[in-house]
Structure 1
Amino acid sequence: MRLPRPHRHDLLIASIGLAGGLILWSFGIYVTGDDRIVGERWATLIPLVVMSATEALRRTAPRTALLVGTLAIAADQFTQGNLATVLMFTDVVYASVVYGTPASARRIPYTTGLVTVAITAALLIWWQNALALLVGVLSGMLSFLPALTGAIVRNHREAAEAATLRAEQTALLAEMDRAQAVVAERARMARELHDMVANHLSAIAIHSTAALSIDEEATTRQALTVIRENSVAGLAEMRRLIGLLRDSGGDAEPAAVPRLSGLEALIAQARTNGASSGLTFALDDTRAETAEQLPAPVELAAYRIVQESLTNALKHAPAGAVTVSLARDARALTVRVTSPFGDRPGPRAPGSGAGLVGMRERVQLLGGTFEAGPVPDGDDRKIWQVRAVLPAEERTPEA
């Protein structure tokens, strides 16, 4: 098996340990006396060199380093001993816990603890004096204490890494939430801008076309009057929207939100705008006068759906009747707008196709249902119907 390349820091530690051991050896400084099994001075160098080699593998191959280091420290006990060998062994035990596998990190502290207890008990039985306790304490300081220190350090590192990962995940989720909030706000602004201005601009386009195509002073004057009214109203709506977007301090008075009570005025304006196109408009409100007031988001959505439906009728419907119907029960408000459906040479004013998308989004955000399209109306005729069912209670918008 080919061992991995040692880390440069481990090579430095190994070099320092080897150099320190050689200095101690050159001055004749040993851990024990000359009464060991192998009393030759050179014998001390073998465990020293082997232990320094394991130091070079402490990070890249901690398990191999621990096994070889254990053999080296055992062999050192049969020589006069070198303090550098002992110190490097404690570092190898520490590194085997810090850089080893999770299983090794759990087992090594328990194993060294059991070995320490076993050595102490065996020496007590053998020597039967207090020196056995001292040797047991020393063996624990050389094996169990470094392993315990490594376990503590590893736990702290893993906790720090987990905290860092959680912080990164939290930051990522916050960024995703921010991006979704920006997209949702842009969609809301697009719906509001389209619904508020499209009606007025469509009327301007229709009546300007009439003024240009019909060379009659009365017709031109009437068309210019409608164009001016819609221009002023559209400009007011634009200013209101810009004011809402710029107001970030919260000191300004809240802008009035359109409600269903304003449908009469909306339909009256549609009558004026659609008179030249042969369109008539009617409101059929079957809600009870004593019915509980709807939440503002529900009324706003219903108002905007009616507004956009009337605008689409002005753009695309042939001459005929446009009817707005409102019905409510205990659970929902039903909005239904019907208009003539048939072939036309082309729309009276250009459209972007965003109106139906905006209406559907409004209904979905409130948890309602929406449908739009041609439906049968008897006598092989069809009408265009927009139908939305909105919950009578406000709901949390979907993510």
Structure 2
Amino acid sequence: MKERLRGWLIDIAVLVVAAAEATLSSITEHTTTATVLSVIAVLALLLRNRWPFLVYLATLPAVAVVDVYVAAVVALYSVSARYRNWWLLIGCGLALTVCLFFPIPEPGEDFTASDLVLEIIDSAMTAGGPILLGRFLQTRRELALRLEEVREAREYERQVDAQVILTKERNQLAREMHDVVSHQVSLIAVQAGVVTVSTADPAVREAVEHIRTLSVNTLDELRHMVNLLRASGTPESELSPQPTLTDLHRLIDNSGIETELLGAAPAGIEAPMQRAIYRTIQEALTNVRKHAPGAKATVEFRRDDSDLTVTVTNTAPTRPALALPSARHGLIGLRERAALLDGRFHAGPTADGGYQLRLRLPLN
């Protein structure tokens, strides 16, 4: 907006100066021809940004007949700023130089050779000034564009370098996950299978079978995450297929926790919201299994006019919990998921010794 306003002010100033010079010259000449040529030269400047060469040609008669040259100088500058052909610019400069000689002195007037040389120099400088200025400003604009292209290229190279580094880190993380975590979980699944075959106690067999099922599911999810990490942000690395709310009953059944499901999510909610709800419930049930053995859980969906609230509440544990390592990264991730969806997340203990996770997401 500022650039456009400045351009308008410059055009208005140029028109005012050209009109003032043309008016004074026309008053001096006292001829209709001088007035008409002066008016044409000034009005032609209104189109100098669209057709600079034709406007320049329209201003030359006023230079030759009336000695009005401000409009021609401005038009020549516009030609120089638009075109790069030096032969065209030299021709336009010579045309203005010749027109500046008119009217030619009559034979009786005193006109020496030195006057002729000075007139040539003055005319050439008058014609050459706008050409050099136009080329200078045009070159400066082109250099500014080149510098902008260089900055964009450097920024692109920086992003590429960062992506290469990130790819290496992802591949290293994928290798570690595959070599360490996958190996350990596989051993758990194999040993659980051995216990299932060797034991005669139905309760033990059921518990161990459940452990083996969880291990197999963990390996499947781990393979999927390794593939995502190795894809390194390519189109193939989209989070698909990802769990949705249709998988919620299977998640609850495989959790090994007595869980009550109250209500349901509204139909047609977007996939990112379904993933956030699923991961919240998954993390809540995992925490119950780790930190509240023997506890019961309740998953409740509630909807009001604008929000959907998902609450996972567990009772107090009935058995001592094993000391398992935890960095609380799961809760941090859930809070980040909620923030990305403009939602709110809360986690904290309840009055009866249990724990509650609450996710509130906007539906509109």
Instruction: Give the letter aligned to residue 233 of structure 1.
Output: N
Q: Decide which of 129, 135, 145 is 2:118's aligned counterpart.
A: 135
Q: Decide which of 295, 304, 309 is 2:284's aligned counterpart.
A: 309
Distance 2:238 2:300 in 1: 33
Distance 1:136 1:173 in 2: 54
Deviates more, 1:301-310 or 1:349-358: 349-358
Q: Decide which of 277, 281, 294 is 2:259's aligned counterpart.
A: 281
The change in CA–CA distance for 1:325 and 1:350 in structure 2 (over 3 A counts) is: same
2:144 is matched with which residue? 162
2:245 is matched with which residue? 260
SS at match of 2:296: strand
- Structure 2 stretches of 5 or more lacking a match? 1-96
Instruction: Give the letter aligned to residue 305 of structure 1.
Output: T
SS at match of 2:119: helix
Instruction: Give the letter aligned to residue 251 of structure 2.
Output: L
RMSD: 4.8
Q: Decide which of 302, 308, 317 is 1:333's aligned counterpart.
A: 308
1:116-155 Cα offsets, whole Å, 9 max, x none, are 9xx989x979x665975663232343x4455445423432
1:99 is matched with which residue? none
Distance 2:276 2:327 in 1: 20
2:335 is matched with which residue? 360
Q: Which has the larger radius of gyration?
A: 1
SS at match of 2:358: strand
Distance 1:353 1:385 in 2: 15
1:82 is matched with which residue? none
Distance 1:355 1:281 in 2: 20
Output aligned runs, 1:89-168, within 5 Å: 129=111, 132=115, 135-141=118-124, 143-144=125-126, 147-168=129-150
In the alignment, is the contact (CA less than 8 A) between 2:347 and 2:357 conserved in 1?
yes
2:215 is matched with which residue? 231
In the alignment, is the contact (CA less than 8 A) between 1:120 and 1:135 conserved in 2?
no
Instruction: Give the letter aligned to residue 149 of structure 2.
Output: A
2:358 is aligned with 1:387? yes
1:49 is matched with which residue? none
In the alignment, is the contact (CA less than 8 A) between 1:295 and 1:392 conserved in 2?
no
In the alignment, is the contact (CA less than 8 A) between 1:334 and 1:388 conserved in 2?
yes
Distance 1:240 1:281 in 2: 27
Distance 1:364 1:181 in 2: 28
Distance 2:148 2:361 in 1: 40
The change in CA–CA distance for 1:364 and 1:172 in structure 2 (over 3 A counts) is: farther
In the alignment, is the contact (CA less than 8 A) between 2:295 and 2:316 conserved in 1?
no
- Structure 1 stretches of 5 or more lacking a match? 1-115, 275-279, 394-399
SS at match of 1:373: strand
Identity score, percent: 31
TM-score by length of 1: 0.48
Structure 1 residue 226: deviation in Å? 2.0
SS at match of 2:289: helix
2:341 is aligned with 1:370? no
2:298 is aligned with 1:323? yes
In the alignment, is the contact (CA less than 8 A) between 1:120 and 1:133 conserved in 2?
no
Structure 1 residue 294: deviation in Å? 0.6
Greater RCO between the two (CA within 8 Å, min separation 6)? Answer: 1
In the alignment, is the contact (CA less than 8 A) between 1:298 and 1:391 conserved in 2?
no
